[in-house]
Chain A
Amino acid sequence: MFGYILRRLVSTIPVMFIVALIVFLMLRLTPSDPAAIIAGDNADAQQVEMIRQQLGLDKPIFVQLFVWLKSILSGDLGESFFFKKTVTSLIADRIEPTLALAAFTLVIAVSVAVPLGVFAAMRRGSLLDRLVMGFSVMGFSVPAFVIGYALIYIFAIKLQWLPVQGYSRIANGIEPWVRSLVLPSLTLAVIYIALIARMTRTSLLEVLGEDYIRTAYSRGLTPLQVLTRHALPNAAVPIVTVIGLGVALLIGGVVVTESVFAIPGIGRLTVDAVLARDYPTIQAIILLFSFVYVMINLIIDVSYTLLDPRIRY
């Protein structure tokens, strides 16, 4: 087990290296000029050239790559071209809202979707089942920002129950913090609920058809006992997998949701950085998100062994 985790950890190194390479080449090979943007609206060619030199963008591409990789390995993500801050501190400023948003979404999604999926599977073919399935397809078919605007219109403008926008840091009190997160995480949760409810239903249906479930029933267990003791644990692996895969979805959704709700998280930092051609920040964010994605997949794989005694590494 320990050896397996170690092996998986080591195998993430080449993946991260490839990510770094892809990101770096993508930024350098596309026609954009951060120096001109930083120089501002009325700068002349000479000022632009001077800034290009300051940023080291005049050097050959492989020299730049080498310099960047070397600094990453020493734990230094560099300084933002635009914000005059280190990328590490920029990300540190922005991590709390994004983590809070992601965690809220995850909690809402799992606590809504798993029961929905279970009910749908238990009452297969019923109205509820059809509603859940219908919702789960619908959830995939509407852009997240539309859901966000609709929620704002109803709950913030018409009913005035919740704030329109913004994020209240947890240090400013729990209540405003929760209130500021409700609408954004609901927005983000819709697609996620659709995904998890669907997978829960599917994998539970598969398990419910197995022989040992029939055996369990014949032993006189109630449906609830069958569900909690036999069916759910055996259906857990695909459910957990889809929750993990959904993290990629979540990261994409965070960008949109943070833009709609003006939440100062990493998602908005991404858009800002891309529009400003802030290479060090873009590189660092993509590396960070990719790392998170890789790690979550690793954790999921490891969790299989805990959830499913048949899987051993």
Chain B
Amino acid sequence: MRFRKFALATALGAVVAAAPLATAPASAETVLKAVMHSDVKIIDPIWTTAYISRNVGYMIYDTLFALDAKNDVKPQMVDKVDISADKLTYTMTLRDGLLWHDGQPVTSEDCVQSLKRWSAKDSLGQKIFTGFISEISAPDAKTIVIKLKEPTGLLLFALGKPSSNVPFMMPKRIAETDPGKQISEFIGSGPFVLKRDEWKPGDKIVFTKFDKYKPRSEPASAFAGGKVVKVDRVEWLAIADAQQAVNALSAGEIDYMEQPPHDLLPLIKADANLKTFVSSATGQFTMRPNSLVPPLNNPKIKQALWYALNQEDFLKATVGNAEYYKVCKSYFPCGTPFSTTAGMDGLLTGNAKKAQELLKEAGYDGTPIVLMASTDLPILTNLGPVAKQLMERAGFKVDMQSMDWQTLVARRNKKDPANAGGWNAFNTAWVSADILNPVLTAYMNAACDKALFGWPCDEKLEKLRNDFMKAPDLEAQKKIATEAQVEAIAYTTHIPLGEYSVPVAMRKNIDGVIDAAAPVFWNITKK
């Protein structure tokens, strides 16, 4: 008897267990499987500037303001903002019905605390909070009041800052985490919920649609407008080998691939089931010299770099297909408001003769330039060898040292002489959203010891950057941005090496991809 009961229970259990398996296809849950440019190891997008963490941020968190497709600041979580006549008091009201993923309502106190944590980490946030804001408060559950010491045109831009670190909103108890430590609870008010139990670094990270998310009524435009989610579940799979990711896309094992290498695009074009989408946001290659240690602490020798290098060679070697690159002799992305070629006359032309002359004048003694080259990120791999060849033609002695990106990141913080574990130069890339203006452009920070690795030290440039924050309107900002570019070229904080775009590849049945500076997954449909 007992045995029979047990058998029955087991049989029932089997039926019950089998039921969901049998009905799963019928419920037609739409799952979007994507391969991103990197695996997600860290989620806290305030703590790290890694782009992949920022992208996770756009899934699960929301922002007070956001940039639209025209790079104009639009309210996102905020319903309306009142600015006092003297431009010193900003009163913001949150939208109705905003909820955290745990069901609690979003309050202004949460937001104030989130802004505080962000401003402790983000360089623009730091500048605004320490230089301009006198008081930030939450008089009631829906209102945030920010009082300024003096006016700045950048406050709302900062609150809608599109790229790392984005001021994402988090519940107060989480935002109270020491900014130097990572958060361990991932609750946002964004359009997707993180499936914490399914997050397996090195394997996949899973998001599901947040049913109670209240999108704005406007159509989606870049990071602004209504974030309407049209799939039930998004999975980001870790496939490190790009060719394998393309193969998986062809085979229908994945739906979306963020950054297929340019050399593999012919495979995608040849496949009738696949298509690409090219975002209007671009990336910029750049060379960062170390202004602290010899020989590149000599401005004249740094100046020779401007003549030795040319953008075409870098772009051809890394991107190849002219459809996806653009020569752009401006620090600020071509096509954005502050873009200008001022100060670039005759520069970046690959003029080896002129560079040799400058080196002679400067008395360059042939000390090798230690050029750090990263070898594991496909888009950066080819920059080093091209730089080495161009510099050698111009009379530099170059000691190119290959290393993986992580090693490079560790080593570039070292202020030692180049032959004692330090460095002289390296190449990298960043997206347009990071370099829209002289304050945002991290490498233009010329505050000596307080500047980023490379430690440029230029009082005039720092003053221009401060002026930019106080500039009352766009015209004044433009004038200062141009002056800042000319000054930064004269000092050589860094060297722009051209713009590129990386298409997104996807199956034909995927539609509605938003054109933004970071990949976002609302509005995407899968038929």
Contacts and interface: CB of A to CB of B under 8 A. Distances in A.
Q: Do any CB atoms of chain A lie under 8 A from CB atoms of chain B in the complex?
A: yes
Interface of A: 31-33, 36-37, 39-45, 47-48, 50-51, 54, 82-85, 90, 93-94, 152, 156-157, 160, 163-166, 173, 259-262, 264, 268-269, 272, 275-277
Given A36-B413, A82-B42, A276 B452 contact: no
Contact of A42 (B239, B241, B251, B442): B442
Interface in B243-294: 244-245, 247-248, 250-251, 253
Interface residues of B, number: 42
A134 B427 CA distance: 48
A224 B406 CA distance: 60
B472 to A, nearest CB: 29
Given A42-B442, A54-B180, 11 more contacts: A40-B48, A42-B123, A43-B413, A54-B181, A84-B182, A90-B201, A94-B200, A165-B245, A165-B253, A259-B240, A276-B41
Given A47-B180, A165-B239, A165-B247, A277 B200 contact: no
Contacts of B413: 36, 43-45, 48
Given A262-B240, A264-B238, A42 B49 contact: yes
Given A94-B202, A152-B247, A260-B244, A164 B181 contact: no
A155 to B, nearest CB: 11
Contacts, number: 108
Given A37-B406, A164-B244, A277-B406, A83 B251 contact: no
A44 B179 CA distance: 14
Contacts of B406: 37, 275-277
Given A36-B409, A42-B442, A82-B42, A166 B248 contact: yes
8 contacts: A41-B48, A41-B409, A42-B452, A83-B201, A164-B251, A165-B247, A262-B239, A272-B201
A43 B450 CA distance: 11
B47 to A, nearest CB: 8
Interface of B: 21, 39, 41-42, 47-50, 123, 164, 180-182, 184, 200-204, 237-241, 244-245, 247-248, 250-251, 253, 376, 404, 406-407, 409-410, 413, 421, 442, 450, 452
B253 A166 contact: yes
A98 to B, nearest CB: 12
Q: Can you list the 9 inter-chain pairs with the closest CB atoms, starting with the nearest? A: A264-B203, A36-B410, A40-B48, A33-B410, A262-B239, A164-B247, A37-B406, A42-B49, A83-B201
Contacts of B247: 152, 156-157, 164-165
Contacts of B200: 93-94, 264
B237 to A, nearest CB: 7
B502 to A, nearest CB: 18
A244 B244 CA distance: 32
Contacts of A94: 200, 202-203
B241 A262 contact: yes
Contacts of A54: 180-181
Nearest to A47: B180
Contacts of A82: 41-42, 201
Given A32-B410, A40-B49, A157-B251, A166 B237 contact: yes
A233 B315 CA distance: 66
A157 B250 contact: yes
A37 B452 contact: no
Contacts of A272: 39, 201-202
